Amino acid sequence: MTYEEAMANARLIAAAPDMLDALKLLNKWFEITGSSVKHRWEHIPAEDRAAIVAATKAAIAKAEGASNAR
């Protein structure tokens, strides 16, 4: 591993708690807003919308140590 890679990994590790908080807020927004963002959300294909929600939930679960996280 190069110095640059090690530094990039260190920055990623340092940012992980903030990224988890952001994902939690994003996921909460998805759950709460529902149809109030329909005009924007509908422009995203249904399979992509499902993937976005699933990815945020999976990342949160993995970060929190859930046994069934990917």
Q: Look at residue 41 and give its three-state secondary structure.
A: helix
**Every domain of the chain and the residues it spans:** 18-70
> What is the biggest distance separating any 2 CA atoms in the chain, rounded to whole angstroms?
47
Q: What is the pLDDT along the chain (70 residues), one digit of tens a residue?
A: 999 999 988 988 998 998 898 888 887 877 776 655 656 667 778 888 788 888 888 888 888 887 655 5
19: nearest Cα among 54, 62, 50: 62
Q: Look at residue 66 and give its three-state secondary structure.
A: coil
- Residue 2 is predicted with a pLDDT of 96
- Residue 6 is predicted with a pLDDT of 92
Q: Any idea what DSSP says for residue 67?
A: T
